[in-house]
Amino acid sequence: MTRSRWFSSLALAVFVGIGCGSGKPPEASAKTTTAEPAAPMQLAEAPAAAAPVVAGSASVRGTVHLNGTAPKGEVVKMGADPVCQQQHATPVVTEEVVANAQGGLKNVFVYVKEGLSGSFPAPTTPVVLNQTGCWYQPHVFGIQANQPLEIVNDDATLHNINAKPTTNQPFNVAQPVKGMKTTKKFTKPEVAVHFKCNVHPWMSAYVGVVEHPFFAVSGDDGAFSISGLPAGTYVLEAWQEKYGTQTQKVTVGDGAAQTVDFTFNAQ
C-alpha cells in the first residue's frame, strides 16, 4: 500500500470512529445545521405593554367539608425497601382522602380561576418538594407558572420523580443519592400535575400550577385563606384528587374579607 492510500484509509477510520463510537449520549453529540438564506429585513413591532401588577387588600377564607364518612386509608407496605420502612415508627396511610372528626377535608387546592387582570411575575424563590421516608411532602401544593420547583431526595435510597402533566412538559428524573436536588419549572397553568415514583409506587403527590399567587391548600381542619386580592368578582375553584372540582363566585371589596365554604360528598 502506498503512503497516500494508507493515509486515506486512516482518515476514513477516524471519521467513522467519531461518528459512531464516541460513547456520548445522543443529547451530548455535536449537531450541525445548514444556514438558510437571510429573510428580508422587517421592522419589528413594538411589544404590547403588560398590564401592571395589581396588589390588593381583600381576602377570601373558608373551610372545605366532606359530607359523609371518609373512606378508610390503606396502610402502605414499604417492606420491599428497608430504607423506607425503618424511617417510620408507625404505619403510613394513604392520603387520597383525609378528613378530621368534624368533616374538615385536608389537601384541597383552592385558587382563583377567573376574574383576575394584570401580570403576576413568578417568584424566584423555589417551592420545595421533599422525598422523606419514601413519602412526598407535601402531598398537595401550589406553584406559579415559571416558578422554580426544587425536588429533594432526603433518603439513602433511589427515587425517581415521574411528573405526569397533560399540558406541561413531562419529566422523569432519577435521584440515586441522598441529598440530590433537581430543579424544574412548569410553564403553563395546569390543575393538577401528578407525581409518581416508579421505584416506590405508593408515592404520590399533586401540584396546582397557576399564573398568579392567589391559591391555598386546605389544612388539617379543612380551612384555607387567600389574601392580597384586589377588589373584584372572582370564580374560585376547589380541586380534590378523588372528588374532582367545585366552583363558587365571590365578590370582595377593598380591605374586606369574604367567607366561601366548599362541600364534597363522600362516595
- List the domain boundaries for the chain: 54-118+223-267, 121-211
Q: How many residues appear in the chain?
A: 267
Gap between the Cα atoms of 131 and 161, Å rounded: 9
pLDDT at 41 over 90: no
Superfamily of domain 121-211: Cupredoxins -  blue copper proteins (2.60.40.420)
Residue 212 burial by CB count (10 A; 0-12/13-18/19+): exposed, middle or buried?
Answer: buried
* Inter-CA distances, 38 with 35, 41, 42, 71, Å: 9, 8, 11, 64
Average pLDDT over residues 186-196: 98
Residue 8 binned pLDDT confidence (cut-offs 50, 70, 90): very low
pLDDT at 50 over 90: no
Gap between the Cα atoms of 4 and 26, Å rounded: 34
**Cell numbers that stand for 237 in this block:** 375553584
Q: Which residue, 108, 89, 110, 85, is CA-closest to 248?
A: 110
Report which secondary-structure segment, H or E, holds 16.
helix 3-20
Query: pLDDT per residue over 93-138, tens digit each?
Result: 999 999 999 999 999 999 999 999 999 999 999 999 999 999 999 9
Query: pLDDT per residue over 83-99, tens digit each?
Result: 999 999 999 999 999 99
Residues with Cβ within 8 Å of 42's Cβ and at least 6 positions away in sequence, in order, are none
Residue 55 binned pLDDT confidence (cut-offs 50, 70, 90): confident
pLDDT at 267: 75
pLDDT at 40 over 80: no
121-211 and 54-118+223-267 share a CATH fold = yes
Gap between the Cα atoms of 81 and 59, Å rounded: 45
Residue 12 binned pLDDT confidence (cut-offs 50, 70, 90): very low
Are the beta carbons of 224 and 257 closer than 8 angstroms?
A: no
How does DSSP classify residue 18?
H
Neighbours of 221 (CB within 10 A): 15
Q: Is it true that domain 54-118+223-267 has CATH number 3.40.50?
A: no
* pTM given for the model: 0.80
Cis peptide before 192 (omega within 30 of 0): yes
* Inter-CA distances, 109 with 57, 68, 97, 238, Å: 22, 20, 13, 6
Are the beta carbons of 194 and 164 closer than 8 angstroms?
A: yes
